[in-house]
Amino acid sequence: MSHSFDVIVAGVGGMGSAAAYQLAARGLRVLALEQHELGHSVGSSHGLTRIIRLAYFEDPSYVPLLRRAFALWRELEEGLEEPLLHITGGLDVGFAGSLVFEGSLRSCREHDLPHEVLDATALAARFPGWHPAPNAMAVFQPDAGFLTPERCILAYAARARLHGATIHTREKVLGYTASRGSVRVRTDRGEYEAAQLLLTAGPWMADLAPALQPLLTPERQVLGWFEIADHARFAPTAFPVFVLEAAQGIYYGFPEYGVPGFKIGRYHHRQERVHPDTMDRTVHPLDEAVLREAVARYFPDANGALQSSSACLFTNTPDEHFIIDRAPDTPEVLLVSPCSGHGFKFCSVIGEICADLVETGTTSHDIALFGLGRFSDRLR
């Protein structure tokens, strides 16, 4: 059966749900297709909490996007019984000359963000859950915190439906053909036609856009929640979200929220390249050891039993910046969301960018960093 829409969104996680809402709110006929249930736990948009921060060590050009993202998250949570965005402040901790510390400081200075620089003694005194290395240096930026990702997705999907979007769950996209300003999408339940297709499929992007296969590396990631001896030190009012560059790797973590325990992960956990459909989702003792190495050294008051854990996915690009661009030789298809493990905080503004690009072909947001042209020598 064929049905006609203005745009089809393939993948209704963080990016897809925000885009579906923004498109539908502008009056477009939207079909959003999700192969699992909304807010599922087998992709890249789950885990109870996700960091959002303005002091962006990855590149200062992200900061204007983050300012808009904060505003849009606040807009989304209006009228809800519980907030989606929780402000705790944020710490970017490293050492003089390190990527995380210097990059965060650069973003603060270039964009005139309020911030403080703390040495190891000041860091431990102000936030006693920390036992930093003696040479540690930190940037504290108050406009940071965490989002509740599953609830964000459900909220965006609900708003999209209120504006007339059609959302199908448990329907897998199998492929598509595009020509002369239209796209025909084939799923395991039918066929649909639209003027444009928006691919926001996260770790499944390479399956749906084979031209991207040389660029994308889905990677297994593990999060752990560790038993806390002194809960007051890890409460949201006392323990900011953080990124920590240490000898053992780059870690990120959260105060205790939602479930018992101190939550921590390490970027590029064990550097395991996987496919989302066959990834090992069991958390093994070696996974715990990777995380406990940092917990024991830097957060000893939370070095208790592993109370819970979760496996998720990064989808990494070669430079770990996003891709937001038209598919090569297929202008009807917009590629969005291989976000290298740091994309969820941007979902609100990327949804707006997607709607701009679908509706007018351009956006006022600066997305020059995310074009496919930077990988022209690697594309198929």
Distance CA 110, CA 236 (A): 28
Choose, from 106, 111, 151, 268, the residue flagged as catalytic. Answer: 268
Choose, from 46, 159, 231, 321, the residue flagged as catalytic. Answer: 46
Catalytic site residue 40?
Answer: no
Catalytic site residue 50?
Answer: yes
Catalytic site residue 281?
Answer: no
The whole-angstrom distance between residue 111's C-alpha and the CA centroid of its chain comes to 22
Distance CA 250, CA 244 (A): 5
Choose, from 50, 53, 266, 342, the residue flagged as catalytic. Answer: 50
Distance CA 169, CA 343 (A): 23
Segment (H or E) for 180: none
Choose, from 148, 152, 233, 312, the residue flagged as catalytic. Answer: 312
Choose, from 115, 263, 269, 342, the residue flagged as catalytic. Answer: 263
Distance CA 253, CA 130 (A): 12
Instruction: Return the number of other C-beta atoms located less than 10 Å from residue 8's C-beta.
Output: 28
Catalytic site residue 354?
Answer: no
The number of residues making up the chain comes to 380
Instruction: Return the number of other C-beta atoms located less than 10 Å from residue 96's C-beta.
Output: 10
The answer to whether the beta carbons of residues 266 and 290 sit under 8 Å apart is: yes
Across the chain, the runs of DSSP E, i.e. the strands, are 4-10, 30-33, 50-53, 85-87, 90-94, 116-119, 137-141, 144-147, 166-168, 173-179, 182-187, 191-199, 217-226, 241-246, 249-254, 262-266, 306-316, 324-327, 330-336
Choose, from 148, 233, 345, 354, the residue flagged as catalytic. Answer: 345
Output phi, psi for 308, to 5 deg. -160, 165
Catalytic site residue 49?
Answer: yes
Catalytic site residue 172?
Answer: no
- Catalytic residue numbers, as ranges: 46, 49-50, 263, 268, 312, 345
